[in-house]
Amino acid sequence: MIRLALARLLSAFSLAVGVSLLLFLLFDSGLLGDPALREAGKHADADAIGRARERLGQFTRYQPGAVRLELRGPAARFTLESDGERLLLRDVRGAELGWVGLEDRRVGQLAELLPLPPPWALGAEAADPELPASGLAAALRGGRAVLDSRGPLALGWAEASPAWRHFLRQTSALLRFDFGRTRDDRPVAQELWLRGRRSLALALPAFLLTTALALATALLCAARGGWFDRLLAWLSVGAMSVSSLVWVMLLQRWLGGGLAWFPVHGWEPPYAAYLALPVLIWIVVGFGPELRFYRAAAIEESGRPYLRTARAKGLGRGAALRRHLLPNLLLPLLTQVVVSLPFLMLGSLLLERFFGIPGLGDWTVRAVLDNDQQVIRATTFLFALLYLAAQWLTDLAYALADPRVRRAV
Amino acid sequence: MSAAARRLVLLAVLPLAAASASCQREGAAAPSFASFALAEELADFDPLEAWSTSHQVLQRQVYEGLVEYRYHGRTDEFVGLLAERWEVSEDGLEWRFRLRPDLSFYDPHEPPLWPGRRRPVVARDVVDSFLRLADPRLGAQGWFALEGLLEGLDEFRERAAKGAEEAEAALAAARDGAGLPGLRAPDEATVVLRLRRPAPDLLMRLASPYCVVTPREAFAHPDRGLRDHPVGSGPYSLAEWLPRSRAVFRRVPGWRTVEDEHGPLPHIDELRFQAVLEGSTRALLFEQGQIDRLPPVQDSFARMVDGDRPSAELRARGVRLAVTETPDLSMLVLNLDDPVIGDLPGDDAGNQRRRLLRRAIALSFPYERWHRDIRERTWGSPATRYLPPSVAESAGLPESAWRRHDPELARRLLAEAGWPGGDGLPELQLELSGTDQGTADLRDMVVEGLKQIGVRCRATANSPAEYSAKTRGGRAQLFFWSWALDWPDAANLLEVFYSGNAGGGINRANLRSPAFDALFEEFRGLGPGPRRMELAREMVLVLDQELPVVPVDHRRGFLLLQPWLKNVEVNPFDLFPCKYFVVESRG
C-alpha cells in the first residue's frame, strides 16, 4: 500500500513538472500572443514594449536608447533583425547583407561591426559603450529596426532572462502552490478559491440533482420497460439533439424574460435566486446523456439471472431493484461521477457567462484570450491535479465497491 | 412514480420556488438609481490603467481632472472641474490653473484615511498625480497624454528609469522645493504647467481619463492602493464592489454645491454597474427595464432597431435611440517599408512606379461591398476623408482621390507603372487576423478586387498575436487597421503618420515623409484657425500623394435609452458622466 501511495505521489510530481513544461513551451512559443504588447498599450513604441518586458520578467534589465545610430551616405535604408544573439542586416529590398555575431563585443563597437556596403557608414553614439553588445540583439529579438537616412535610430539594450531559469522558477513556484498574481494584480490563489466556490455553488447541486434524477428515472425505465421506457428514451434523445446554447438562451428568455420567474442575470445575496435558473438549465441539458448512460447500464443488469432469482424468491420489484440492481450499478455510477468532479470545479462556461456568475469557467477563458499566463498556468495545473486525484478516488472506490477488484489489489 | 422519484422531483422544484420568491423581493425598485450593463468585465480603479471603456466609465464617477468636456456643448469645449479658472501666457506655453476652493477627497473605505473621511484637494495633489503618471516603474498606459509636453517631466522619467535609488531621488526632487519647471504648485490652490511647445490640445489631454487627480495617501498606501479602493473628489464613491462583475456607487454625502438646469449635481443617488458579457442577456435585461441603456449588438439589433429609430414595440414604451459616430478611422494599410509596394530611399524612379501601384491597389478595393458585407450598411459610414467627421477640420478637407472603386483607372495606372495587367509584378501579400466569416469576406474582397486588375494576391490568416507582431514589426505588406482617437483633435489621428512613430510605433504604414513631418510639427502647435486648416489640407495632400493608407470607413454605434433616463448627452470622449443624468419615474 505504501509503495502504491509513493508511486502515485511520484506520478503526481512528474505530472506537475510535465504540465509546467507544456505551459512553458506554449507561452514561450508566443502562440498565445505577447503579453508585453497589451501591457504597453496602443501608443507603445519599441521602448515602451521593452519596459513592459522588464516589468513582466522577460528582461532582467532594460535600457532604452542604449545606442543611437545615424546612417551616413546617399539616401538609403537598411533593416536590422535579431535572433536573440546575433543581428541580421538587410538592404532596402530585403536581401541579407550578413549576420553579425555580438558575443564578447561591446555596444560602443556596433558601428564597426555592421557590414554596410560602401559608400554608407554609420555614426554611433552610445550612452554606456561598455555594455555587452549581445544585449542589443536580446532587446530586438523578434522585432525589426530600420536604419533610414531620413532620421536616426535608437536601439534599446536588454539582459534577457535565460529560458531554463525562467522554467525552473515557474515550476518550483507551481510545486509550492505559489500561483503568483493575475494581470490586474490580484493573488491568483485567492481568486481561484473565491471563483472555485462560486462555480461549485452552481455545479455541485446541478450535478447531484441531475445524477439523482437520471439514476432514478433509469431505474424506473428498467423496472417498467414498455411505453414508459420508450417515451423517456425518445425525450432524452430529443433534448440531446438541441444544442446546449439554444437551451440556455431559450430557457433564459422564457423563464427569466417572458414569465419572469427567475432573475436573468447577477450575483448578489440571496445567491440561490440567481442560481436557480442556471441549475434548472444544467439539469435539462445534462439529464438526457446521463439518463441514456444509466438506463443502458440498468437495463443490462436487469436481465441478469441474479435478479430473476431474487424475484423468483418472492422479492418485490422495488426491493429487488434497491437491494440487488442498485449495488451492481455502483461501478458505472462511480466512473461517471468521480471522473466528472474536476470538471465541476471549472463550472459551466456558458451558464456562468449568460447568467453573470463570476466563477472559474469564464475567468479561465478570459485569461486565455487576455494571455494572462499566471491564471492559465494555475488553472491548468490545478485541473491536472484534480484529475489525478479523481482517478485515485475512482480506483479506491472501485476497490471498496467491488470485492473482485479489492482481491486483485 | 415511486416515492423515491417523487422525493427527487420535489427536491428539484423546492429551490426553484424559493428562488422565484426571492426574485420577486428583489424586484422592489428603490427610487433614484440608474442601472447599467457593460459588455466587458468591470475593470478596476487605477487611473494608470484607464485604457478600456470599462476603466473609463467606472473611474469617471469617482475621479476628476482639472477640466471636463462641456455637457451639451461641442466636443472641443471645456469647463473647469477641479479648476475654477485658468490663464494662458501670451506665448501659449504657461498655463496657470486656479483650483476651486470647495474641493475635497472622500474616502468611503474602512479604516478611512482621514478623520471625517475627507481632506481638501490641493495643488500638490495634481503634481503628485502627474508624476505618478510619468513614473516609468509603474508603466502607465496613459503616459502618452503628457509625453513630450511639460518641461522637465520627460527628464524626470528618464532619470527614474535608471534604477530604484535614482527613481526615488528624482521623485523627491520633483516633489520638493521648486519642483519641475513644467509642473509646479506655487501655492495650495495654483498649478502651473509650463509646456515645451505650444499645445492647443492641452485641455483635451487634461480632460482625458489618464490625467485625473488622486490623493497620494491612497495610491501610495501599502495595503490599499487605488485598484480596489478608489478615493477621489468626484460626486460618487464606491459602495459595493465585486471585482470584474459588479460595482455600486453612491452619492458622496455633502458633495460640493454645483447645479445645472435640473438642480444640484449629481441628480441620481445610486449608480449600479454590472458586467453582462452576452449580448442576448443585455437585450433581455433592457427589455425587462432592468438596465437603462443598451448599445444593441448584432443578435438583438434587428429585433430592437428599425432603421434609425427603435422598433415599434420599444417606441410604444418610450424608448429612444441615439446614433453615435465613433471617432475613428478604419484603413487599408500599405506598408511603405515593403520593397514591392513601398517607398525606398534613393530609388526615385522605382518609387514613382510603386506610388502608382499603391493607387491602383486603392482603386481596386470594392468599398461598397465592404459597406454592405462587413458593416451591413449599418455599423460604419464611408470614410471619404482621412479625418472622422467629429474632428473640426474634417469638413474642410478634400476627399481622397483614390478611395473609390475604379478598376479601369487602376488598370491604366498599373500599365503606366510598368506592370500592364499585373505582368512582372510579384504576388502581393495580404495579412489577416483570424479566420471568421468576416475575415474570409474581407480576404475575398481584396483578392478578387486585385484579380480584376490582373494583380495576384495571397492572403495569410494569422492568429491575433502573429498579426500584431507582423503589423507592428513592419513585416506585413497589406493589412487592415483601425485607429480610435483619444481626444477630438486632428493631431491625435495625424500623428499616426509622423515619422517619429515609425519603426514599431503607431505609424504602422511607416511613412517617413520630411514634408509631412514639418507640416505636422507646426500643425500640432496651432490652435483652430485658417493656418491650421491650411496645414491640415497640405498634410492630407501629402497622404494622398504617398498613400500609406486608404481610408475605408468610420464605425457607428447605436444606443437605446429607457424613457426614464433623461438628460443623456452622448460624447464619445466622455463616457458616462452620470452626475448629469436624470432618472424620472421608472417604468
Say if the Cβ atoms of A184 and B227 lie within 8 Å: yes
Residue A42 located in a structural domain: no
Q: Do A252 and B281 touch (CB under 8 A)?
A: yes
What is residue B30's predicted lDDT score, i.e. its pLDDT?
58
pLDDT digit string, tens, across residues B8-39: 333 344 344 344 434 344 444 457 899 999 99
The answer, for A257 touching chain B at a CB cutoff of 8 Å, is yes
Interchain pair B284, A257: CB under 8 A? yes
A260 touching B (Cβ < 8 Å): yes
* Cα(A335)–Cα(A395) distance, integer angstroms: 9
pLDDT at B15: 42
Quote the pLDDT of residue B262: 94
Q: Which amino acid is at A227?
A: W
- C-alpha distances (whole Å) from B243 to each of A4, A186, B95, B227 are 44, 10, 38, 10
- Specify the pTM: 0.87
Residue B501, SS3 per DSSP = helix
Instruction: Outline where DSSP puts E strands in B326-477.
Output: 328-334, 380-382, 428-433, 457-462
Across residues A290-303, what is the average pLDDT?
A: 88
Question: Is the CB of A149 inside 8 Å of chain B's CB atoms?
Answer: yes
- Specify whether A254 is located in the same domain as A364: yes
Q: Which of A65-74, A215-224, B532-541 has the lowest mean pLDDT?
A: A215-224
Q: For A115-124, A337-346, B331-340, which range has the lowest pLDDT when averaged over its residues?
A: A337-346
pLDDT at B120 over 60: yes
Residues A103 and A192 in one domain: no
* Strand positions, DSSP E, B118-235: 118-120, 183-187, 190-194
d(CA B237, CA B63): 9
Looking at the complex, report in whole angstroms how far the Cα of residue A10 sits from the nearest Cα belonging to chain B.
Answer: 37
Whether residue A355 is found in the same domain as residue A299: yes
Bridge-based pairing of strands B118-120 and B104-106 is antiparallel
Quote the pLDDT of residue A408: 67
Three-state secondary-structure class, residue B472: helix
**CA B524 – CA B533 distance, rounded (Å):** 11
Question: What's the grid cell of residue B93?
Answer: 506655453
In a domain, A5, yes or no: no
Q: What percent of chain B has pLDDT over 70?
A: 94
- Co-location of A132 and A198 in the same domain: no
Inter-chain CB proximity B245 and A353 less than 8 Å: no
Query: Tell me, what DSSP letter sits at residue A103?
Result: T
In a domain, A51, yes or no: no
Residue A345 belongs to a domain: yes
The predicted pLDDT at position A347 comes to 63
Q: Are residues A112 and A216 in the same domain?
A: no
- How far apart are the CA of B465 and the nearest CA of chain A, in angstroms? 4
- How confident is the model over B113-138, as a mean pLDDT? 96
Is residue B104 over pLDDT 90? yes
A268 and A391 inside one domain = yes
Q: Best-predicted range by mean pLDDT among A68-82, A219-233, B100-114? A: B100-114
Task: List, for residues A151-162, the tens digit of each pLDDT value.
Answer: 889 999 999 888
Residue with more model confidence, A103 or B60: B60
Per-residue pLDDT at B116: 95
Q: Using a CB–CB cutoff of 8 Å, tell me whether A211 touches chain B.
A: no
Better-predicted residue by pLDDT, B317 or A7:
B317
Residue spans of beta strands (DSSP E) within B29-88: 33-38, 67-69, 78-80, 83-88
Tell whether A235 and A333 lie within a shared domain: yes
Res B26: pLDDT: 44
Q: Check CB contact under 8 Å for A33 and B503.
A: no
Span A252-280, average pLDDT: 94
Residue A266 lies inside a defined structural domain of this protein: yes
Alpha-helix residue ranges (DSSP H) falling in B63-195: 123-134, 153-160, 164-175
Is residue A11, in this structure, part of any structural domain at all? no
**Residue that finishes a domain, picked among A142, A160, A178:** A160
Mean per-residue pLDDT, B475-480: 96
pLDDT at position A29:
67
Alpha helix (H) residue ranges in B37-83: 53-62
Strand duo B549-561 + B320-325: pairing: antiparallel
Separation between Cα atoms, residue A294 and residue A300, nearest integer Å: 10
More confident: A168 or B425: B425
Q: How confident is the model at residue A36 (pLDDT cuts 50, 70, 90)?
A: confident
Q: Are both A133 and A192 inside the same structural domain?
A: no
The answer on pLDDT for B442 being more than 70 is: yes
Rounded to an integer, the average pLDDT of A11-18 is 81
Same domain, residue pair A330 and A245: yes
- Domains along chain B with CATH numbers: 31-62+234-319+562-587 (3.40.190.10), 63-227 (3.90.76.10), 329-554 (3.10.105.10)
Q: What is the rounded CA–CA span in Å between residue B37 and residue B283?
A: 10
Same domain assignment for residues A219 and A261: yes
Q: What is the pLDDT of residue B343?
A: 94
CATH number, residue A306 = 1.10.3720.10
Distance CA A389, CA B251 (A): 50
Regarding whether A124 and A194 lie in a shared domain, the answer is: no
Q: What is the pLDDT of residue A15?
A: 80
Closest residue, chain A, to B336 (C-alpha): A92
* Closest CA of chain B from A319, distance in Å: 12
Smallest Cβ distance to B139: which of A52, A93, A354? A52
Q: State how many domains chain A has.
A: 2
Pairing type for strands B380-382 and B582-583 reads unpaired
**Pairwise CB contact (< 8 Å): A209 & B512:** no
> What mean pLDDT value characterizes chain B?
91
C-alpha A277/C-alpha A202 separation (Å) is 10
Query: Which among B139, B277, B514 has the least Cβ separation from residue A39?
Result: B139
Residue A144 or B493, more confident: B493
Q: Containing domain of residue A73, as a range?
A: 59-160
**Adjacency order of strands within the sheet including B33-38:** B33-38, B270-275, B246-251, B236-242
Residues 67-96 of chain A with CB under 8 A from chain B are 74-77, 79, 92-94
Q: Which of residues 267-296 of A touch B (CB under 8 A)?
A: 267-268, 270, 272-277, 279-280, 283
What average pLDDT does this structure show over B566-585?
93
- How distant is the Cα of B113 from the closest Cα of chain A, in angstroms? 22
**What is the CA B446 to chain-centroid distance, rounded?**
28
Could you tell me if residue A148 is inside a domain?
yes
pLDDT at A327: 82
Q: How far is CA B310 from the centre of its chain?
A: 26
State how far the Cα of B457 lies from the Cα of B447, in Å rounded to an integer. Answer: 6
> What does R_g of chain A's alpha carbons equal in angstroms?
31
**Minimal Cβ distance to B245: which of A44, A74, A358:** A358
In this structure, are residues A157 and A139 in contact, taking their beta carbons and an 8 Å threshold? Answer: yes
Pair (A132, A226) in one structural domain: no
Residues B187-240: tens digit of each pLDDT: 999 999 999 999 999 999 999 999 999 999 999 999 899 999 999 999 999 999
pLDDT given for residue A17 in this prediction: 84
Stretch B428-447: mean pLDDT: 92
A24 is a domain residue: no
* Best residue of A47, A265, A369 to probe chain B, by most B CBs closer than 10 Å: A265
Strand order in B190-194's β-sheet?
B83-88, B94-99, B190-194, B183-187
**How many C-beta atoms surround the C-beta of residue A100 within 10 A?**
19
In chain A, residues 40-59 whose CB comes closer than 8 Å to chain B: 40-46, 48-49, 51-52, 55
**What mean pLDDT value characterizes chain A?**
87
B52: contact with A, CB 8 A cutoff: no
Looking at residue B213, its amino acid is V
